[in-house]
């Protein structure tokens, strides 16, 4: 069990606690402005993996914490993967429907041919 007393002492000593995204605990989550988003999106198009130097450079240029940049890229990769899965699913579904329709046509043709053979 975590030491709650130690946590309180840290706060009382004036030390600041930070969350995983690099922001101070208790602060409201801030949205990125349009310029920051455009810059991040452009950099994501260049490469969806971040090198340490590029992360620091982006953080400095955008006035954000490096951890915020890393998390944004991680979230963007997850969104990208989800969208790709949705596109793949839609394509497979269309393929399946097409094959199903073709199969029904072939089944009908097969039944007609079998009936012709039997009647001869």
Gap between the Cα atoms of 78 and 85, Å rounded: 11
* Domain ranges, ordered by start, for the chain: 31-119
| Backbone torsions φ then ψ of 86, nearest 5 degrees | -65, -45
- 31-119 belongs to which CATH class? mainly alpha
Residue-wise pLDDT tens digits, 36-84: 999 999 999 999 999 999 999 999 999 999 999 999 999 999 999 999 9
Residue-wise pLDDT tens digits, 22-48: 555 566 778 999 999 999 999 999 999
Q: How far is CA 46 from CA 26, 27, 43, 88, 97, in A?
A: 34, 32, 5, 23, 36
Enter the pTM of the model: 0.64
Contacts of residue 120, defined as CB under 8 A and 6 or more positions apart, other chains included, come to none
């Amino acid at each position: 069990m975590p030491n709650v007393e130690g946590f309180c002492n840290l706060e009382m000593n004036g030390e600041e606690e930070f969350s995983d995204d690099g922001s101070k605990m208790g602060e409201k989550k801030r949205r990125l402005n349009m310029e920051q988003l455009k810059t991040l999106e452009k950099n994501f198009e260049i490469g969806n993996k971040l090198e340490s130097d590029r992360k620091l450079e982006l953080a400095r240029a955008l006035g954000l914490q490096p951890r915020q940049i890393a998390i944004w890229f991680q979230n963007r990769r997850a969104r990208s993967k989800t969208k790709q899965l949705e596109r793949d699913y839609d394509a497979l579904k269309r393929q399946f429907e097409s094959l199903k329709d073709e199969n029904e046509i072939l089944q009908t043709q097969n039944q007609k041919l079998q009936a012709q053979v039997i009647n001869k």
